[in-house]
Structure 1
Amino acid sequence: MPLISSDFKPSIPFRNGHASTIYSALLRKPVKPGQERERLILPDGDFLDLDWTRKDEPRDRLILLLHGLEGNAQRPYMLGSAGIFSENGYDVCAVNFRGCSGEPNLRFRSYHSGATEDLSAVLQHILKRYDYEKIFLKGFSLGGNLILKFLGERSELTRHITAAAVISVPCDLHDSLIQLNRPANWLYAQRFLKSLREKVAEKQSRFPDALDQGGVDQIKSLKDFDDIYTSRAHGFKDALDYYQKCSSLQFIESIATPTLLLNAKNDSFLGAKCYPEERCRDHAYVHFESPRFGGHVGFVTAGSYYYSEKRSLEFLSFVK
């Protein structure tokens, strides 16, 4: 313990990892919970948009949701989580990372897998303005990596987190990049790259002194993007330095917050280093569950809510 055996077994079509990944991302139509947007001004003058789901009666529990690469608070996995937690007594704050809420952010920098300073800013804002007895975190893919890193850094803010759940986490960023570069993942990689190239082209038009057009034209792969933009915009030497410093794998042993880590074995985005079984085997706080099926942020089941949503609710609700 706490390695968790899993009996999750979806219907036959969704035992294929790609089917689960694609269906949940592109074809799922969750009921959209009511949302109210709040704009948070960050210490550097930039902003984050927070999409709140709240009921009229006051609640003492809040869950923060963090999306994945090029996601936002309106993605099906975010809406599904907002719905199930709202129905079960939680206020929900879905965080849109910088530049992900439908409007370009104001700075040359953006978001990345290790930008825990922005999560800290959200928490400081909530602690100052609201009075929740318990605060929980849930993150997907990139957002899950960020949460594990945040918890492992053990800042003063960490003590305010009751528990966390993270789904489909690329615990080793370089290992995940290698997987995304495989032929079977070509369409996923190209989809990410198209969106990222559009954003960096917009950055170049506003900040030509920080990045010239030649640099934008050199971005042919996800690693190129991290070499040319991510590292330059966020203070890393290069892509490999970014992957090394921001991979959550190295932070897991330091986590002292009850945490569920759910990574499917047939997640094509994840390599062997993204399954930290040995680090979690005798861990007092990090519970690692790795079902055979689920794909990447998939875990499709019949009904309104998916396995990862039900499992996260179950885990977080029983933490004292």
Structure 2
Amino acid sequence: MYEKFSAGFGLKNRHLQTVYASFFRKNVPIDFEVEEFVLSDGDFLECFWSYADKKEKQMPTVVLFHGLTGSYRSSYILGMIHALNSAGLNTVLMHFRGCGTKANLLPRSYHSGESGDALEFIQSLRKRNPLSDVYAVGFSLGANMLLKLLGEMAKNSLIKKAVAISAPMQLDTCANFINEGFSKIYQKRLVGDLNKSLDKKYDKHDMFSHINLKREDIVKLKTFWDFDGAYTAPVHGFKSAEDYYTKCSSRQFLKNIQTPTLIIHALDDPFMSSDVIPNENELSPFITLEVSQNGGHVGFVGGSIFKPEYWLEKRAIRFFS
């Protein structure tokens, strides 16, 4: 029986859970090998590999999918990679388009439902090493994408087991929640970063012809509804932000999942309300849903404020083993 999550002493606050590791965690340096994976449309993904043993590269591999504006610099990514490597598992962080060290080549980017890129990469892994199992861990946006992908693959899944952490499984509900109260602080930071990335695209592309938005009007995008309506939806072929949220929310795909999957969620997540948590009748028999009172957003820090323990890493390793 696994140990249920219990927030560390002095760490029960939802916001402290969410930001603690980013500000206070000292991460072990990771020696990455970088692969540029070329996609079928000519764009590319930066995939950062880290091996448990470089002499044994055919071992099981865990593919990691980061959250919105995340990367190999994110503390939750570095911590999970170090823990998985220590447990004898190879890892590869698949950066979404433009999230690594280089800008992607096309006017489009990535979004919460872009499962096609991940499918191409995982198919490549299975062809390269057909005898090596593939596992997956998704965080936040990456978790929503992963759950959608698992539902789309259904019985033809290429993944042996998967863990989805703090997934925004109902995107419109999350976009509304993060635009209220103190949560607007997170929205301001994230949308600000997205706006900066969009602004850089105007240096290389005629973005106005793609999304009908003048460069000087980017600063007017204040909410996720604004950004997704102005950029994400039109550049990725959706009719509107609402259309994008409706088609890409992973909750509707859960019943089709036929891969052993662990969904980890906290009731005090400051990015979303408990309304995003699916009902039992929406889950396939392959899903284990674990909901804790505390944990924040991709937090789940136990121990104490001066001696923290990162429970997510231990829980993922137990699930995979």
Report the TM-score, using the length of structure 2 for normalisation. Answer: 0.92
Contact residue 64 and residue 94 of structure 1 kept, 8 A = yes
> 1:67-94, CA deviations, whole angstroms, 9 ceiling, x for partnerless residues?
0000012211111111111111111011
CA contact (8 A) 2:27 2:75 kept: yes
Residue 286 of structure 1 aligns with an amino acid whose one-letter code is I
Aligned pairs for 1:297-316 (under 5 A) are: 297-302=298-303, 306-316=310-320
1:284 is aligned to 2:281: no
**Is 1:166 paired with 2:168?**
no
Quote the offset at 1:35 in angstroms.
1.2
Deviates more, 1:196-205 or 1:246-255: 196-205
Structure 2 CA distance for partners of 1:155 and 1:47, relative to 1, 3 Å: farther
> Secondary structure of 2:234's match?
helix
Q: Distance in 1 between matches of 2:217 and 2:89?
A: 45
Report if the CA contact (8 A) 1:145-1:248 is conserved.
yes
Task: Choose which of 221, 224, 227 in structure 1 pairs with 2:223.
Answer: 221
Measured against aligned partners, the alpha-carbon deviations of 1:263-292 in whole angstroms (never above 9, x if no partner) come to 0111111223321142367x4111000111
Secondary structure of the equivalent of 1:97?
coil
Structure 2: stretches of 5+ with no match in the other structure: none
Identity score, percent:
35
CA shift for structure 1 position 184? 1.2
1:128 paired to 2:127: yes
- Match of residue 248 from structure 2: 246
Whole-angstrom distance in 2 between the partners of 1:279 and 1:68 = 27
Is the contact between residue 62 and residue 132 of structure 1 (CA under 8 Å) also seen in structure 2? no
Q: Residues 77-92 of structure 1 correspond to what in structure 2 (within 5 A)?
A: 77-92=76-91
Q: Secondary structure at the match of 2:316?
A: helix
- Output one character per residue of 1:229-287: Cα deviation in whole Å (capped at 9) or x when no partner: 00011000010000000000000011011000000111111223321142367x41110
Alignment gaps of 5+ in structure 1: none
Say if 1:175 and 1:273, in contact at 8 Å, map to a contact too: yes
Give distance in 2, aligned partners of 1:35 and 1:171. 31
Counterpart of 2:67 in 1: which secondary structure? coil
1:202 Cα deviation after fit? 1.2
CA RMSD of aligned residues (A): 1.9
Classify the secondary structure of the residue corresponding to 2:302.
coil
In the aligned structure 1, how far is the partner of 2:309 from the partner of 2:134? 22
Please tell me the residue identity of whatever aligns with 1:223: W
Q: Does 132-141 or 233-242 show the bigger shift? A: 132-141
- TM-aligned CA deviation for residue 186 of structure 1: 1.8
What is the CA–CA distance in structure 1 between the aligned matches of 2:178 and 2:94, rounded to whole Å?
25
Deviations 1:153-207 (A, max 9, x none): 1268x43210100101110011111111012112111110110111111123322
Equivalent pair of 1:98/1:111 in contact (CA under 8 Å):
yes
Check conservation: 2:84, 2:90, Cα contact below 8 A. Answer: yes
Residues of 2 paired with 1:89 and 1:14: CA distance? 30
What SS is found at the alignment partner of 2:37?
strand
Query: Structure 1: how far apart are the matches of 2:125 and 2:308?
Result: 29
**Paired residues, what number?**
312
Tell me the TM-score normalised to structure 1 length.
Answer: 0.92
Q: Which residue number in structure 2 is paired with residue 45 of structure 1?
A: 42
The partner residue of 2:17 within 11, 16, 20 is 20
CA distance in 1, matches of 2:308, 2:160: 26
C-alpha contact (below 8 Å) 2:45/2:94 kept by paired residues: yes
**1:31–1:83 contact (8 Å) kept in structure 2:** yes
Q: Say if 2:214 is the partner of 1:210.
A: no
Between the aligned partners of 2:268 and 2:295, the Cα distance in structure 1 is 7
Q: Within 2, Cα distance between the matches of 1:310 and 1:277? A: 26
User: What residue is the counterpart of 2:61 in the other structure?
Assistant: 62
